[in-house]
Every structure is written in structure tokens, then in C-alpha cells.
Structure 1
Amino acid sequence: MSLPASSHYPTDPRPPEAFFRAAEALPVPLRERACHVITENNRVLEACGDIDAARFGAPMNDSHASLRDDHEVSIPALDELTELLRKDPAEAGARLTGAGFGGACVALCRTGTAAAAGRRAVTRVNAAGAAATLLIPASTPPQDHKKRGSDE
């Protein structure tokens, strides 16, 4: 998938600091929303690089914190669920997904551990009164992300 021709962020010569300076002039809460967008773009660019799963988890965790604190679209139940998932030794990163304000989270787990890690987190959060459901996609063979989109 390529970016639309009107997208300037990846090739914009201004460093992120220039965007932060511009965001400072915005009123609250627009300033925080702009900071989320700027930092989220940086996290996406980092995640698109050649990083392993453990390092990929850090931008996921940071993304959730930004969605919670700057964009204010998380809810306490999702914060608790992502925190439980992050504490699990099988998990590398967790964040809310979708439009926010409830809904779902996604977690990056070590191969073969997603079902057990998900069950542990859902059991704990449901014991506290939530109504979480565990959804795990069918297994697919690992893919080399470097080959996607190549002409080889």
C-alpha cells in the first residue's frame, strides 16, 4: 500500500520538533491531540523499520499511553486489560484498537502463547466485573515483512 500523493508527512523535511512547536500554539485539548498525531506518526515510522518483536512492543505500549492521555479515547477497562497483558511474560506490547471509547485491544505475543496470555488477562479482568471476550485469529505461517510489497 502506498501513501496518497497528497501525503506529505514521510517526505516533509521539517523535523518533528517543528510540528511540536506549531502544536504549542493550539488550545487545549487540540494541542494534546496534535501531539498524539505527531508521536503516533513517529511510532509508525519506527515500527516500519527493521525491528524485532520485543522492540515493536514498545511503540505499541507508547501508542496506548498516548491514546489514553493525549487523545483521551481509552476507558478504564481497556487500560486495565492492556496493563494486564503488558505484565504477562508472553506479551511484548498491547494497545487499544479501533475508534476507542471501549471496544478492543490488540496484543503482540510470542509465537504459540497468544491463547494462554489472552485467557489469563480475560480471566483477571472479568473477575473484576468486566465482560471481556477473547478473540484470536487462526494461525498463519510466519511472513518475512521485508518481502511484502517487493517486486521479487
Structure 2
Amino acid sequence: MHGGEISMLILLLIGLAARSNLISVCACILLVLQFSKLEILFPYLETHGLEVGLLFLLLSILIPIATDKVTTGELLYNITSLPGLLAVLAGVLATHLNSEGLKLMQINPGIIFGLILGSVIGILFFNGQPVGPLMAAGVTALFVEALNWFR
């Protein structure tokens, strides 16, 4: 067994222990691809997987708008009210942090284990909601940048 396969088995066990279906399923899919010699898909998943995931995330978020559960008036109010303006600001900040987190994961892919371990701790002990490693990487990038200010 190679290091990547062992890492995926560890992630699978962590996902099962943390009751994180996403981590468990992803580890299983990658193991199946490795054992069935379909690693040729890895470069495609690496370059386009995030876009495909975001596509489905946005689809699920936009369903209430498409089905008129949220009206145009509510949308306009939620963009122009104080909470709505704060949401726009938070969206700008979050996307910037996610961009920095993505850069951090590209520079240091091994950091993913720390991000997943932190997510598992947050789920188990702080009733956290797993939303993926990208936001955690963004916060990590912010922490790293803040530490660099003090050096």
C-alpha cells in the first residue's frame, strides 16, 4: 500500500469517527479510483473539482429563488438593509479568504490534515457544521498573515 492510500484510509476513519459523510465518501471515491487504476482522473478532479462542487452548492442555494420561496422584494430588501449590506461585505471578505486559503492549500497541500482534524474537533466538541476545508484554509491563511505582521 502506498502513502496516498494509507492517507485516504486514515481520512476515511476520521470521517467515520466524526460522522462526516462528505469526508468518508470522498476518501472512498479516491480509494476506488486508486485501486481501480483510474488515477488518470486525478488531474481533472484537482483542476475542476472545486468548480463542480461550487456549481452544486450554488444550485442548492438558488433553489428557493427559482421556486419563488424568496420573492424579488425580499431579495432587494435583503441587499439594501443593514443586515443585507453586512452580508454583502461578509461575502466579499469570505471570498477573499477562500482565495487565500486555496493558495495556501496549493502551496502546502499537507495542511489539509490539520484543516480536517480541526473540523472534526469543531464538529465533535463545539457542535460545528462542516462546510469543507476551503473556509478553514482561508481562516488559516488569515492567521498566518497575522503572524507574519508580528515578525
TM range (shorter): under 0.3
- Say which structure, 1 or 2, has more relative contact order (CA 8 Å, 6+ apart): 2
- Greater Rg over alpha carbons, structure: 2
Give TM-score, length-normalised by structure 2.
Answer: 0.24
Which structure shows the higher strand fraction? Answer: 1
Larger helix percent: 2
